[in-house]
Structure 1
Amino acid sequence: MGPVILHSVVSVDGFIADANDDVGPLHEWYFAGDTPITPPREDPHYDHSGTGNDFRVSGASAGYVRQMWESIGAIVLGRRLFDLVNGWEGQPPAGDHVVVVSHRPRPAGWHPEASYHFVDGVAAALDRARELAGERTVAVNAGEVGGQVFAAGLVDEVAMDVVPVVFGSGKRYFGSVEGQHLLAGPHVVVPGEGVLHLRFKVQR
């Protein structure tokens, strides 16, 4: 069974979006470099940020991001993010499978060919994602759902792509997690252009 990693791009004060779900400059580094992460897709209109551009990052970031994305077998996210990006039109930025934590089923007629699974509850969603990912990584999107998985002690590592911006308020990386939780490390520190990649193992 592969590791479970909580991941997102985040401001230096710990927010993944503002109160209106606007990511502001958080994803600009994905398109500000000269090194592609992945080959262009046949349908270029949908990607991680919804801008329609190919992912092009700095050389320093490319190796880190490419390796991480290639390791991912399944992504777990909440229904709100799914609705905001329309599930990346069935083509997630990484991984072969997506598990959506939701009380509602897949929208009628929505990309029936895509390996998207709608599961009620974070524990059941993580079990399904692990089954789908096999020995590969399960990446859990940070935010409320990710915070619930983290608080339940089901996360092995925390991965942050820290962008030098202060939001002041908004949607927190760890959602509504309360109390103190210890992390080790960081065991990965990769400075890119406009972003700092960090990874911490969770202490148990």
Structure 2
Amino acid sequence: MTRIIADISVSLDGFVTGPHPGPDNGLGTGGKALHTWAFSDDPEDHRILREGTARSGAVVLGRRLFDIVDGPNGWDDTIGYGAGEVGKPAFVVVTSSPPQSVRLTDLDWTFVTTGLRDAVTAARERAEAAPSGSGQDLDVILMGGGATVGSAFDAGLVDVLSLHLAPVVLGSGTPLFTGAAPRTLVQRSVTATSTATHLTYDVL
């Protein structure tokens, strides 16, 4: 069964970017430390990245994050979703206004203007139709930004929450949760590495 997985790196004080994020500084001041694990030589970090991206049938992101990854200082052949660990899943962008052009034309982009729930539905359809080399169902990954993941969580759209807890305190930035309604989680796994603590929860 295709699951909706919110997968995001977060600081010890609950931020998914540092202060002052923007098009030329997507993760904000100090925010790069959140993703040290994704470029680590630690075999457990590498396994988690590989397994996480391998299950991606479609990826949902918000317009702000799209503008960063598609911008001139965004993704390229060496830095991008999975960084070579996965094929090219479909990408679904939640936006009120689709861009007039796309730099990363080798990726499969869909722009949904009717809200997050419709974007998740479109991504689920793409994931269910995507071929899987392992023979297992592929999942929808909510990669962010923080507002998109937080809104999906609040709306009850998330089946699994996968957090990569970085050993850094940013002080301010983009919070993952802002006054969310109480929600019960069931802890499924904890993996501690030299660069992060990887936590997986089922969302009830």
TM above 0.5, yes or no, is: yes
CA-to-partner distance for each residue in 1:137-191, whole Å, 9 max, x for gaps? Answer: 10112411111111111100100011101112210123x3523111111x11111
Residue 189 of structure 2 aligns to which amino acid in structure 1? V
1:128 pairs with 113, 117, 122, which one?
Answer: 122
Q: What residue in structure 1 maps to residue 147 of structure 2?
A: 144
Q: What is the distance in 2 between the residues matched to 1:3 and 1:192?
A: 26
Q: Report how many residues are paired.
A: 177
By how many angstroms is 1:89 displaced?
A: 5.3
Q: Tell me the secondary structure at the aligned position of residue 26 of structure 1.
A: helix
Percent identical among aligned pairs is: 33
Q: What residue in structure 1 maps to residue 38 of structure 2?
A: 30
1:100 pairs with 87, 93, 96, which one?
Answer: 93
TM-score of the aligned structures, taking structure 2 as reference length: 0.79
TM-score of the aligned structures, taking structure 1 as reference length: 0.79
Q: What residue in structure 1 maps to residue 3 of structure 2?
A: 3
Residue ranges of structure 2 left out of the alignment (5+ in a row): 22-27, 129-136
Q: What is the distance in 1 between the residues matched to 2:160 and 2:104?
A: 31
Task: Output the aligned Cα RMSD.
Answer: 1.9
Contact 1:156 1:202 in 2 (8 A): yes
Tell me which moved more, 16-25 or 193-202: 16-25
Contact 1:10 1:16 in 2 (8 A): yes
Q: What is the distance in 1 between the residues matched to 2:96 and 2:13?
A: 31
Q: What residue in structure 2 maps to residue 44 of structure 1?
A: none
Contact 1:4 1:139 in 2 (8 A): yes
Residue ranges of structure 1 left out of the alignment (5+ in a row): 34-57
Cα distance change of structure 1 residues 109 and 62 upon mapping to structure 2, 3 Å threshold: closer
Cα distance change of structure 1 residues 113 and 63 upon mapping to structure 2, 3 Å threshold: closer
Q: Tell me the secondary structure at the aligned position of residue 81 of structure 2.
A: coil
Q: What residue in structure 2 maps to residue 19 of structure 1?
A: 19
